[in-house]
Structure 1
Amino acid sequence: MPSVLVQFAHPSFYRSRIQKALVKTCKKLDGITINDLYEQYPDLHIDVKREQDLLLKHDILVLQHPFYWYSGPAIIKQWLDLVLEYNWAYGPKGFALQGKKMLSAISCGGGENAYTPEGHNSFPISQFLLPYRQTASLCRMEYMPPFVVYGTHRKKSNDIDDESLMYADILSGLASGRIQPENYRGLEVINSLGHGIEG
């Protein structure tokens, strides 16, 4: 069965509602490893060997974080810069991650309509995530549609519960092999799968 590595990053986790709920739900799942980067590396001194070993042991990489300034928190960039080494993750001899899958799991303060040509942010979320997509491509990985929670500031408790259950269902579906590429290819966001996808 595929194994899923969630690289989680939230610099103010104690203030979070959405990300806290997503992490809590996924901690109960089989085949899912949650690696809290800020907890593991509060000084930002990343253990490259440890992180590379984790990547080698898992089939699917999830970069889970709040969407800060159209990108990820600082430690996500630090992690990418240090861990995805030339001739390890990419380059003429860099085949360590070939064939693995990668997706982003993000929470946005703005609503879905804000991420349209007519909206406040002018572009769809997929445009802002292009650096991650290209990183996956450079590392010979498949970039999957992102899991996106929009409008986090206005979410009620039952809405947060629904988002968490959907996220858990998708991750467990990936880890069990229940969700196959034909289920998500062509989707803008993987949330569109909803609950109970039949593989």
Structure 2
Amino acid sequence: MTPSRILVIYAHPAPRRSRANKPLARALASLPGVAMHDLYWHYPDFDIDVRVEQEAVEAAELIVFQFPVQWYATPSLLKEWIDVVLEMGWAYGPGGTALRGKHLMVLATTGGRAHSYNPDGVHGHTFDMFLLPLQQTAALCGMQWQPPHVLHDADDVSADVIDAHIAQVRAALQPWLPADGDSVV
């Protein structure tokens, strides 16, 4: 992978069926200084090349996890990536300083409506509660947690809502994008 300021770890097990993640991924891939890394394309057998992944993460300032929420969690390959790439002694624990000072941002989509993620809603919690494992992963690794960007009801929202979401994400990435004339790497 080419070193970039922003590394997007894209984990969508069925991208052809995506209404929101696919156009967001295309928009992000077009930005200077952004490297898109599609886990399901690279590792359909789940045999992750840990060293290659660690080198890409080390080169980035901002790591972005982009995924559809499935059963209140990340897709299984992203969970596997976290389990094998963020090793003790590299990402956390004694000697584990590779991620210290980097930033982690989550871009997630859900099939549920926003109002269903509250204590009185069908899901019984605010959506932020379902992101606590990722937030704690960032903390354990010495990373700075960035506000997540979540698009609810992704299967049913209009194209205008998806476009507005993409614009919000692009604006959130602005601090890490190269300024005019800056080198991308």
In the superposition, the TM-score normalised over structure 1's length comes to 0.85
Q: Point out where structure 1 has 5 or more consecutive residues left out of the alignment.
A: 179-199
Partner of 1:48: 50
Partner of 1:99: 101
Deviation at 1:54, TM superposition (A): 0.3
> 8 Å contact 2:68–2:75 — kept in the other structure?
yes
Deviation at 1:177, TM superposition (A): 7.7
> 8 Å contact 1:5–1:33 — kept in the other structure?
yes
Residue identity opposite 2:30 in structure 1: K
Superposition pairs of residues 1-199 of structure 1, within 5 angstroms = 3-171=5-173, 173-176=174-177
- Distance, in Å, in 2 between the alignment partners of 1:154 and 1:47 is 36
Partner of 2:182: none
> Aligned residues: percent identity?
38
Residue identity opposite 2:141 in structure 1: C
What's the secondary structure of 1:160's corresponding residue? helix
- Distance, in Å, in 2 between the alignment partners of 1:60 and 1:22 is 17
Residue identity opposite 2:159 in structure 1: S
What's the secondary structure of 1:154's corresponding residue? coil
Residue identity opposite 1:136 in structure 2: A
Across the aligned residues of Structure 1 and Structure 2, the Cα RMSD in angstroms comes to: 1.4
Q: Following TM superposition, where does structure 1 have runs of at least 4 consecutive aligned residues deviating by more than 3 angstroms?
A: none
Aligned residues between the structures: 176
Q: Bigger shift: 36-45 or 161-170?
A: 161-170
Deviation at 1:48, TM superposition (A): 0.2
In the superposition, the TM-score normalised over structure 2's length comes to 0.91
Q: Point out where structure 2 has 5 or more consecutive residues left out of the alignment.
A: 180-185
